Amino acid sequence: MNNETTASAIDPWASLSGLTAAASRFVANHRYEDLNAETLRLARRCVLDGLAVALAGSEQTGMKPIGDYITSLGGVAQARLIGKSSTRVPAHLAALWGGTAGHAMDWDDTQLAEGPGRPYGLLMHPTMPPLVAALTLSDLIAQEQGFPVDGKKLLASFTAGFEVGCKIAEAINPDHYMRGFHTSGTIGTFAAAAAAAHMLGLDEEATARALGLAASMASGIRAGFGTMTKPMHVGRAAENGVTAALLARFGMSANSEALDGRWGYLAIAGPGGDPALVRDRFGAPHTMESPGVSIKPYPSGVLTHPSMDAMLFLMRENNIKAADIKAVTLKAGSNVLGPIRFRIARTELEGKFSFGFLLSAIILEGRAGKAEFSDTFVLSGACQDMQNRVTTVFDQSIEDMGWDRIRSKIEVVTHDGRSFERWADEAYRGSPHNPLSDAELEAKFIDCAEGLLSTDRSRQVFDMIWSLEEAPDAGHIFDLLDWG
């Protein structure tokens, strides 16, 4: 019997070399000190953006059913709710709340893809599931150990989960999304489980079990787009990730090859995926750094943003006012037009999937933020009238350019007969190639916090997050975000 056989007989885990094992080894051994300066800088930005959108989302209409559901269950007071720090609930329910709030406005960041064939060159919303899972369990652990979890630990757990989610999203067949799975809900579950496992200090074997458990929980289908169900996908990802890690902590067994084994997640939910693309590349480099992450300027799907910016810049460059516009035509391929299902939006949720609304908001207000994404604004007479002037047209020539980028063209006709057109820029605003500045990111937070936090409180959030690694108590985030 050779040494390898002997080792395997003593420790079956030692012989495993699949994607689950690689991810688990990365998570269990990842430390704050492993983060280079650029990844750390980007992690702070993702955390600040994640907290901003979760804060804004915590007051959205769709959060009431979630809140009523959580209240109806009662349970042990383990972790606080984002936006409502006086309320403590079971940890998995706190994660459900936070994750749902974080995606409630569809304003959370987006992972860029490396491999070919990815629609729009994008993959998933990577921040909310691991951030919420890590933050929630930091609150639970602080109670258990009697002293707080610091900012370094929060950053390490968050980046571990972020990286695992992004690499799995890269490995799975792109057909996973095209067939109707919502990647932020499905792959987000693994990201949350990895972050939760790291926060709990699970070893490699227990982390593998957490990922194995997550594989049987990961779900979410695109039929829920345009309803309250879509943000719940991200909430469930955070909830299931926390649950999986806690079950693993208590000794629950799971398949140690649940990601890429014969009946593993990649084989079932994304047939044809290639684990070898990422198996040896966890943290080398972090996906957060390369190819990067896009931080959204608008609370809608990122594929709509280049067209919205094109509308904004066309009006500015030609001094066009809303009253001047007779008709707007947006031309694009099916990759852009296909998911946008509503011709005229009558609710804020429908508006996220309606170019009629999205372009009307830009035309009427010169912006599209928290105030515009409301049922009141969507249903206003001016908005409904302008939506009727906006038309989308499938353009075969744009389709033939491929789906690797978000391409579209805006054409505007004014009442006095003038015509204008503008192509959407491929290096869309918010992407790593055209990133929001820190000042713009702070402005987005202030917009999200409008009516909830004072300017002074927002500044306190900035002070904490821009130096998060120095924070002695990560849980102070809950206090700073409290609005009711």
**DSSP strands (E only) in 206-353:** 293-294, 325-332
Tokens of 248: 């693993």
Q: How many CB atoms lie within 10 A of CB 413?
A: 17
Query: What contacts 26, CB < 8 A, 6 or more positions away?
Result: 160, 163, 164, 282, 283
Tokens of 165: 């989610």
Residue 262: the pLDDT is 87
Residue 16: the pLDDT is 54
3-class SS shares of the chain: helix, strand, coil, % to 5: 55, 10, 35
Strands 293-294, 110-111: parallel, antiparallel or unpaired by DSSP?
A: antiparallel
Q: How many CB atoms lie within 10 A of CB 324?
A: 16
H helices of 74-182, in order, are: 91-103, 128-145, 151-171, 175-178
Task: Tell me how far the alpha carbon of residue 107 is from its chain's centroid.
Answer: 8
Residue 460: the pLDDT is 98
Sign of the dihedral through C-alpha 11, 13, 16, 17: negative
Residue 427: the pLDDT is 65
Beta-ladder partners of 419: 413
The kind and range of the H/E element at 419 are strand 419-423
Q: Are 133 and 474 in contact (CB under 8 A)?
A: no
Distance (Å, whole) CA 56 – CA 260: 37
Tokens of 225: 């787009």
Q: How many CB atoms lie within 10 A of CB 432?
A: 16
Residue 225: the pLDDT is 85
DSSP string of 186-200, one letter each residue? HHHHHHHHHHHHHHH
The radius of gyration of the chain from alpha carbons, rounded to an integer in Å, stands at: 22
In the block, residue with structure tokens 């912006």: 367
Beta-ladder partners of 81: 84
Distance (Å, whole) CA 272 – CA 28: 28
H helices of 146-280, in order, are: 151-171, 175-178, 183-200, 204-215, 229-249, 265-269
Residue 24: the pLDDT is 97
Residue 6: the pLDDT is 42
Residue 51: the pLDDT is 98
Tokens of 202: 């699970």
Residues across the chain: 484
Angle subtended by helix axes 151-171 and 128-145, to nearest 10: 140
Q: Are 294 and 431 in contact (CB under 8 A)?
A: yes
In the block, residue with structure tokens 């919303």: 125
Exposure pattern of 102-113 as b/e (b: 16+ CB <10 Å)? bbbbbbbbbbbb
Residues of the chain with pLDDT under 70: 1-17, 119-121, 425-427
Distance (Å, whole) CA 403 – CA 334: 9
Q: Are 54 and 307 in contact (CB under 8 A)?
A: no
